[in-house]
Amino acid sequence: MSMLRCPVCGGGLTREQKRYVCGKHHSFDLAREGYVHLLTANQKHSKAPGDDKGMAAARNRFLSGEYYAPLRRALEELADGYTENHPAVLDSGCGEGYYTAGICRRLTESGKQPRMAGIDISKFSLRWAAKRTDAVEFAVASAYRLPVADRSVDLLVNCFSPLGLEEFRRVLKPGGVFLYVVPAPKHLWELKEVLYERPYENKEEEILYPGFAYEEIRRVRDSAHLPDGQTIQDLFQMTPYYWRTPRAGRERLAERKELDVSIAFDIHVFRKTPSQKGNE
């Protein structure tokens, strides 16, 4: 039985050779790359939501260069440390699957037998994700309506993606763990110095979300050398600055042939409190 649930009736899905099907015979075809589309029409706010084809390709090129490997390794270590032998793991907003595939590989190498699913609203991202690993189920879906059963997930991962807290509480088991990745104050500081006359630090804060208790905050601090203009532009296209940088900043960045940047992430580790049931 699949980790995924039918977006129409909520029933369990079974994966067949070319499709997923539920007990009420709702059927969802597998794309050629291996992902399934579970985003219903009333959940779509555009024809092709999420990262477009170019953005997904840029993200894949950059992450495949291992510039964010320190973050991936930290997530792998945390996932291994906070799961038992047969964990159900969900990556909400998995993008092109870099971290998802890494976590799956680490858990398997540790002798565990994970069941894993990754969801993202961008079909273009999932085309890349499905190529990274065939050990994870990938589905086009919304973080605000996860196609996963109530209280079925041991570990939920969220890297720079929409924070669907109500859904996260619904799908996590009592005592389940939630890894939430945010940029630390100095993340990509040197990039900001090029883009803006007055660069600003990211806000650093601890937030207590209802239904969750803090376990720890894992801090990742490193640096990366971006060796050419293409890599710099790929990184830029991955960031929110891509949408709000003035023309002058874009032009300054386009002139750079290489760039050393700080990478700084905070991984907030939460545990769902046992008193939380269903949608509470």
246 CB neighbour count, 10 Å cutoff: 11
Helix (H, G, I), strand (E, B) or coil at 61: helix
Run of H or E residues at 8: none
> Average pLDDT of 205-212?
90
Angle between helices 247-254 and 229-238 (to 10 degrees): 150
Position 207 scores a pLDDT of: 85
Position 40 scores a pLDDT of: 81
Residue extents of the structural domains in the chain:
45-272
Q: pLDDT tens digits, residue range 55-107?
A: 999 999 999 999 999 999 999 999 999 999 999 999 999 999 999 999 999 99
Position 49 scores a pLDDT of: 59
Burial bucket for residue 259 (CB in 10 Å: 0-12, 13-18, 19+): buried
Average pLDDT, the chain: 93
Tell me the pairing of strands 153-159 and 259-272. Answer: unpaired
Identity of the residue numbered 87 = P
How many whole angstroms separate alpha carbon 249 and alpha carbon 53? 24
Question: CB–CB of 121/138 below 8 Å?
Answer: no
For residue 110 the two structure tokens come to 């540790």
Is domain 45-272 classified as CATH 3.40.50.150?
yes
Position 280 scores a pLDDT of: 47
Residues of the chain with pLDDT > 70, as a percent, come to 94
Position 278 scores a pLDDT of: 44
Q: Please say if the pLDDT value at position 46 is more than 90.
A: no
Q: pLDDT tens digits, residue range 109-155?
A: 999 999 999 999 999 999 999 999 999 999 999 999 999 999 999 99
